[in-house]
Amino acid sequence: MKATGIVRRIDDLGRVVIPKEIRRTQRIREGDPLEIFTTGAGEVIFKKYSPMGELAGFAAQYAEVLNKALNLTALVCDRDSIIAAAGGSKRDYQERGVSIPLERIMDRRKPFWHSGKAEECVFPCEGADKHILGACPLLAGGDVAGAVLLLSVDKSARPDDSEQAALQIAASFLAKQVED
């Protein structure tokens, strides 16, 4: 655990403010759920909660199915990081933080389809060699829990109807799993 040197007092209602710098660097937004852990040494640990984390194994299987069916790299992410990847370079993506443009795609709450213009490529994370061909947010209980993505190296590629349908089905199915 890394010490920050920041000290906060608990108020009379038992609340403590998480400093803005920590919220920014850890990507903690207003309304984000936090898990609370305690240790035998008297430590209290706050950890961002991701309902998608519980589905990581299942998400990995679904990504594998998409990869085999469509012959494209498939990713599943929560709001902060890629939790499952399938395809030729899955190690390049697994557990990497999502890019700010991908965060914006999720915030829009609508599917994203690459236009076929090279200058409009969006990458799933820093240093990625493949761009997002299509992305569908996972809407569970009215909130964005993550997204399902297909990637391509061809910057002029556009997703066809079957790829769009497969991605939308995957997102709907995984969102239902998060809700249950």
CA distance from start to end of the chain? 33
Could you tell me the residue range of the domain that residue 122 belongs to?
A: 52-179
Q: Quick one: 57 and 101 in the same domain?
A: yes
Share of the chain above pLDDT 70, in %: 98
CA distance to 10, 93, 106, 118, 162, per residue, from 165 (Å): 50, 23, 18, 23, 5
Q: For 56, how many CA atoms within 13 A lie in the half-sphere containing its CB?
A: 8
pLDDT of 22-56, one tens digit each?
Answer: 888 787 888 778 888 888 888 888 887 776 677 88
Residue-level pLDDT at 161: 97
- Domain CATH number, residue 34: 2.10.260.10
Q: Quick one: 43 and 57 in the same domain?
A: no
Q: Quick one: 45 and 94 in the same domain?
A: no
Residue-level pLDDT at 57: 86
Residue-level pLDDT at 1: 67
Q: Quick one: 142 and 167 in the same domain?
A: yes
Share of the chain above pLDDT 90, in %: 56
Tokens of 13: 């209602």
Residue-level pLDDT at 150: 97
Cβ count near 38 (within 10 Å): 9
Tokens of 163: 């790829």
Residue-level pLDDT at 141: 84
For residues 2-27, give the mean pLDDT: 85
Tokens 């660097």 label which residue? Answer: 25
Q: Would the pLDDT of 82 be above 90?
A: yes
Residue-level pLDDT at 34: 84
Among 75, 60, 51, which residue's Cα sits nearest to residue 176? Answer: 51
- Domain CATH number, residue 147: 3.30.450.40
Measured distance CA(154)–CA(143) in Å, rounded: 32
CA distance to 4, 6, 28, 79, per residue, from 21 (Å): 10, 10, 10, 19
